[in-house]
Amino acid sequence: MLLQTAPAPARRPQSPAPARRPEWLLPLGFGLVATVLAAAGSWIPSLWGDEAASLLSATRPLPSLFAMLGHVDAVHGTYYLGLHAWVAVFGTSPFALRFPTALAAGLCTAAVVLIARRLGTRTTAISAGVVCALLPRMTYAGEEARSYAFSAAIAAWLTLVLIELLLRRRPGWMLRLAYPVLLALGVYTFLYLGLMILAHGVLLLCTRPGRRFVRRWAISCAAALAVATPVIFWAITERHQVAYLAWTSQVDVQSVLVSMWFGDAGFATVAWMLVIVALAGAIVQRGRRRAQPGGTARGSVRRAPALELVAACWLIVPATLLIAPSALLADFTARYLTFCAPAAGILITCGVVRVAALLARAGRSRTVATIALTACVAAVAVPAYAAERTPYAKNNSDWAEISATMAAYARPGDGVVFDASVGPSKRPRLAMHTYPAGFRGLDDVLLHTPYTRSATWMDTSFSVPQAAARHRLIGITRVWLIEYATGAHTDRWGLSDLQHLGFVAKADFRTHRGEIIELTR
């Protein structure tokens, strides 16, 4: 008799495990959102003096650019070289010129999301992404053709790499190499980013990762600084460029508490309240942890640094080192600390999370409270964002308006004379380079040396009498004089000289920061 085995019980069909979302989707999504927000409307504000320096430097031939960098702006050389390649492909329209910094704003936000996710929860990362994408200093830098948005992005990724080095037991050689490479690139992009070494040093002092780790970190910093020695040397030799900061008031309540990171007083009030909540909450929490039995004991595995600690070191150390000596040294203006803006965004997020935790004790959902509070912060940021995308948002520059006026009234063969008495970054002559359409066919009668052959980033020009002595005005019957003007004052730099040559004012056109006078003879 054959033994029969009992049939195996039928297996119940197992429901498939829920698919995990790839971790890169969150930073990628917020990076794209931040890029779109920064790029949206970026063509509306007129280009201004610093952006004109970027444009003129990027469009000159490379030999001319290197010659210029030997005299001025060596600290911006890396950015100018990158922009030179960019405009060769995409042109020099305001949107094209500013789009690289919108990409940098996106890269910065992506790194902030990764930092918040590594040291916090997914909800914290989402909140940090929203805050950083709408932080007024980042949305402003993301629509400006300067290197500041790149400095913020490099600082954020540099901090992320340090956190990964701290948390991984055996980081690979690529991760170890990334730190000195990013640091050297950051110094070449923006010299003061070297202050991140001190910010990270304070962070390591607080976290105490061990002598071996600190030794390797110090060697990485030394290697990066050695590679960056050329730009440091040129920065010292060209220090006269920022001497003007000693003659202007750069450190005041408006500059430090509002303009530096937060755009307007309304957002600044909310932001500072949340930053204070975040820092106070972190201090209290640390005190309670140390008071617990064994609270200071150290295990074999490194403890992750608190998100508030990382952001506080990143924000406070560079800001203190730049602002404190500004009364004696000409070394500070608010936009220089753009690379600390992501840290401000993180601290705002930490404040949001702290307040949400208090609401959770009252029976609210912590996640819902965090999302709601983040939405409120975003709403408060909207007015500053909108103000940044108005025609005169960049230092009251109106060069687009000047060019449009000239296009409407001037005719080929007319002469054009630009006020040269105002500071270099406000000179109306730059309207011709930033918005050339309105000046096509006109005779630049005062031009001495074009910027492409100048040792500086701009043209040099004659005075009206000097041009007349060189017969520059022979055959010119109509001249357009463009003077710098404010609501209370209008320059009269060239008017009397032109009248002495027989020109008579015929028409007058006012723009936001200029006066265009038509003269004929």
DSSP result, 131-165 = HHHH-HHHHHHTTSSSSHHHHHHHHHHHHHHHHHH
Residues composing the chain: 521
- Check: CB of residue 445 under 8 Å from CB of residue 415: yes
323 shares a domain with 208 = yes
Q: Return the structure tokens found at 37.
A: 């927000």
pLDDT of residue 327: 64
**CATH number, position 487:** 3.40.190
Distance CA 510, CA 508 (A): 7
pLDDT of residue 247: 53
227 shares a domain with 113 = yes
Q: Is residue 202 part of a domain?
A: yes
456 shares a domain with 320 = no
Of 333, 352, 387, the domain-final residue: 387
User: What is the full per-residue pLDDT of the chain (521 aa) written as tens digits?
Assistant: 333 444 444 454 454 545 566 788 999 999 999 999 999 999 999 999 999 999 999 999 999 999 999 999 999 999 999 999 999 999 999 999 999 999 999 999 999 999 999 999 999 999 999 999 999 999 999 999 999 999 999 999 999 999 999 999 889 999 999 999 999 999 999 999 999 999 999 999 999 999 999 999 999 999 999 999 999 999 888 776 654 555 565 788 899 999 999 999 999 999 999 999 999 999 998 888 777 765 554 444 457 899 999 999 999 999 999 998 876 666 678 899 999 999 999 999 999 999 999 998 877 789 999 999 999 999 999 999 999 999 999 999 999 999 999 999 999 999 999 999 999 999 999 999 999 999 999 999 999 999 999 999 999 999 999 999 999 999 999 999 999 999 888 899 999 999 999 999 999 999 999 999 999 99
DSSP result, 450-504 = -GGGSSSSS-EE--HHHHHHTTTTTT--EEEEEEEB-SS-B--SSHHHHHHTT-E
Strand arrangement of the beta sheet that strand 443-444 belongs to: 443-444, 415-418, 478-484, 514-520, 504-511
Strand partners, 480: 416, 518
The per-residue b/e assignment along 300-310, b for 16 or more CB within 10 angstroms, e otherwise, is: eebeebbbbbb
180 shares a domain with 79 = yes
pLDDT of residue 104: 98
314 shares a domain with 438 = no
127 shares a domain with 79 = yes
203 shares a domain with 78 = yes
345 shares a domain with 490 = no
Q: Return the structure tokens found at 112.
A: 């902030």
Return the residue matching tokens 């201004």. Answer: 48
Helix H, strand E, coil C: the string for 339-363 is HHHHHHHHHHHHHHHHHHHHHHHCC
User: By three-state DSSP, how is residue 5 classified?
Assistant: coil
Q: Is residue 152 part of a domain?
A: yes
Domain of 415, in residue numbers: 399-520
Q: Is residue 393 part of a domain?
A: no
Q: Return the structure tokens found at 70.
A: 């030997």
> What distances in angstroms separate CA 22 from CA 19, 28, 33, 111, 245, one per listed residue?
9, 10, 18, 16, 48
User: By three-state DSSP, how is residue 448 classified?
Assistant: strand
- Total structural domains within the chain: 2
Beta strands in 54-107 (DSSP E): none
Q: Is residue 345 part of a domain?
A: yes
Q: Return the structure tokens found at 72.
A: 């001025």
Distance CA 135, CA 385 (A): 8
| DSSP secondary structure code for residue 398 in this structure | -
| DSSP secondary structure code for residue 311 in this structure | H
Helix H, strand E, coil C: the string for 249-285 is CCCCHHHHHHHCCCCCHHHHHHHHHHHHHHHHHHHHH
Of 333, 357, 387, the domain-final residue: 387
Of 363, 387, 411, the domain-final residue: 387
Closest CA to 105 of 73, 153, 57, 170: 153
Helices (H), 388-456: 399-409, 429-434
Instruction: Tell me the chain's radius of gyration from C-alpha atoms.
Output: 28
Distance CA 517, CA 195 (A): 48
459 shares a domain with 341 = no
| DSSP secondary structure code for residue 412 in this structure | T
User: Taking the CB of residue 234, how many other CB atoms lie within 10 A of it?
Assistant: 19
User: By three-state DSSP, how is residue 288 classified?
Assistant: helix
pLDDT of residue 94: 98
405 shares a domain with 461 = yes
Q: Is residue 83 part of a domain?
A: yes
pLDDT of residue 7: 46
pLDDT of residue 297: 46
Q: Is residue 394 part of a domain?
A: no
**Encoded amino acid at 323, one letter:** I
Angle between helical axes of 196-207 and 307-323 (0-180°, round to 10)? 140
Helix (H) or strand (E) holding 516: strand 514-520
Strand partners, 510: 515
Q: Is residue 169 part of a domain?
A: yes
pLDDT of residue 65: 96
Distance CA 40, CA 62 (A): 31
311 shares a domain with 222 = yes
pLDDT of residue 229: 96
Q: Is residue 139 part of a domain?
A: yes
pLDDT of residue 287: 83
DSSP result, 111-131 = HHHHHHHHHS-HHHHHHHHHH
Helix (H) or strand (E) holding 519: strand 514-520
423 shares a domain with 320 = no
